[in-house]
Amino acid sequence: MTEEVLGTRYRILSRVGEGGMAEVYRARDSVLNRIVAVKVLRPQFASDEEFVERFRREAQAAASLSHPNIVSIYDVGQDGDRYYIVMEYVSGKSLKDLIREEGPLAPEKAAGIACQILAALDHAHKNNIVHRDIKPHNILVTPEGAVKVTDFGIARATSTSALTETGTIIGTVNYFSPEQARGETVGIGSDIYSLGVVLYEMLTGRVPFKGDTPIAIALQHLQNTAISPSELNPRVPRELGRIVMKALEKDPSKRYQNARDMVRALEKYVPVPGGVRIDAAPSTGDGGGENRAADAPTEVFRPPAMPRAAGPKGVDDTLAKPRKSSRGVGKAVAMLVMVTLALFSLAAVAVIKLPEWLYVEEVRVPDFTGKTLDEAKLMAEEAGLRLDEPDRRYDDSVPPNAVISQRPAPYEKVKLNSRVLLVVSMGKEMVEVPDLKGLDVRQAVLELERLELKEGIQTEEYSSDVARGRVLSQSPEAGTRVEKGIPIDIVVSAGPEPNVVAVPDVVGATLSDAESRLALAGLVKGNVTEEAREGETPGVVLSQVPPAGQEVQRGTAVDLVISAGTEGSSSILDAITPVSTLVTILVPPGADQQEVRIKINDYYGERDYYVGMHAPGERIEKQVNAWGRKVRIRVYIAGILYKDEWVPKE
């Protein structure tokens, strides 16, 4: 579209920006020979009556306003099927770009910009116009710091009682008010809320609410309370934080009721260079501002009294003023000449010396980036420069207390004793670990992503108290402050521990091994029977019921059939048949101490069961426990067989 001419008057020079429904061009007005901005409705909307009406509405709304902080509308027209608005060309950048470049602005600077926006809104509100789309993208800032509000594309001019339509959500979701989110009637308070969001972003570098979808963000505007800017950025005074939070009240009646109230609050708590007068611009509406020049009392400045006209000299005059001698007059003239020469001499010296007196030495600004704040202070002192109170922001790549950037730039020439502003890192942004216990795994992961934390190791444990798929525990614990990006480990419930188990295969195992395997699986040994089978090792499991692999309830008994070996061999049952009997011994007379020995011969073979020294006449009772269906017990005293018996007795 470059070099095209619209309306036979506006020659397009270059494209400078675009919006949702229009493109903006830099152009030259050939009639008035000046640079202007031309907003052209996109071709796809030119046939849409709703968009054309909205486009015309912007021109009408903005054209009715005349204020230093509002972009002026010069003309509106149609060239074929193209609709356009001609407006004031503002050199500078959007407030959004300024925030992206500088991060959180200094509180004084942010308050100054906010006051200028409020001055523009106050003028619009007095003319019964609500902007309804206040956001950094629609705020232009010139290199001199002047602020211009633009894009009245969704503004409405109605009565003071109803300043917008209902039932339609209009605005940008990150900045619109709760009443806009609900599609309710929107008034002055909506612009105050949006300005609160813009001021919040200027002070913290971020909007108060974020989300993956517009609906998610809108719900937060309706339900959530923003974190105070003073908590996110320690450089923001608490009083200023409270001003922002009041503007962000969900209930419009609890916000500032008009723009000038908020300006007074900002000027009271934060020094704004030069102040901001919101009633200086003329209003074309119902008024409300003061005309200080008209109300001031009229002052009469009287001219100085003129000397009376000289008349004929009388005798009294002659006597009253004796004539000066000619000698006195000569001295006066000589004195006047000397004073004049002295003044000329001083002037000549001043002209010669003035450049020298006014000259200030120039120095190069050191490169402070990467240095600690203490190092930067020493470098500034050595270079003859002064450091302003630094701006501070979080930074993932620069360590805490190190310089991120500076203004003026490194190696730039400045006057001696100039001031330098540094941006100092606060390190990685810290967040508080949320309480994930009881949350569904997906909910827990989304919560971690919202806080820019990572999902760590996920493990499972049985639990009868927490439903399957919900978080049992976490590490680090909830409430711990950690850096963004830190992984959070979670333990997830696998539900109640199952009561059904599979029966293990114990065929071929010994009886003791089979019993161990069953216990490990949560089962118990049931009935054990013998079966003589040629070629099978005695004591080995031949079969089991239930069979291997079958699922049964925990605690079920498993019956076993074990090998008894060949016919006539010792039965394995001998190994599991206990025998118990009481052996009574009366030590006969003899030596002082006599050895008493009890030997048994059972399933496991012959062995000493008891050996001890006892005195003559001592009565000994020992409970003997052995294994097998027939057990032989023999008692020796001093090496001589004292008793020999079988249990049970034959």
- The closest alpha carbon to 259, from 355, 195, 211, 337, belongs to 195
Could you give the dihedral angle defined by the CA atoms of residues 406, 408, 413 and 415, in that order, rounded to the nearest 10 degrees? -110
**Alpha-carbon span 403 to 383, nearest angstrom:** 17
Instruction: Please name the residue ranges forming H helices in 495-546.
Output: 511-520
Greatest Cα-to-Cα distance within the chain, rounded to the nearest angstrom: 186
Bridge partners of residue 78, in order along the sequence: 83
Is residue 376 classed as helix, strand or coil in its secondary structure? Answer: helix
- The closest alpha carbon to 76, from 14, 142, 22, belongs to 22
In 119-179 the beta strands, taken as DSSP E runs, fall at 129-130, 139-141, 147-149, 156-157
**Alpha-carbon span 635 to 621, nearest angstrom:** 12
* DSSP structure string for 348-372: HHHHHHHHHHH---EEEPP--TTSB
Active-site residue (options: 75, 122, 133, 391):
133
Are 114 and 266 in contact by the 8 Å Cβ rule? The answer is: yes
Are 23 and 39 in contact by the 8 Å Cβ rule? The answer is: yes
Q: Which two tokens stand for residue 329?
A: 């007059």
**Alpha-carbon span 199 to 182, nearest angstrom:** 23
Helix (H) or strand (E) holding 134: none
Three-state SS letters, 307-331: CCCCCCCCHHHHHHCCCCCHHHHHH
- Residue type (1 letter), 349: V
Are 493 and 461 in contact by the 8 Å Cβ rule? The answer is: yes
Could you give the dihedral angle defined by the CA atoms of residues 513, 516, 518 and 521, in that order, rounded to the nearest 10 degrees? -130
- The closest alpha carbon to 265, from 180, 188, 199, 190, belongs to 199
- The closest alpha carbon to 3, from 35, 28, 23, belongs to 28
133 tagged catalytic: yes
Q: Which residues are catalytic?
A: 133
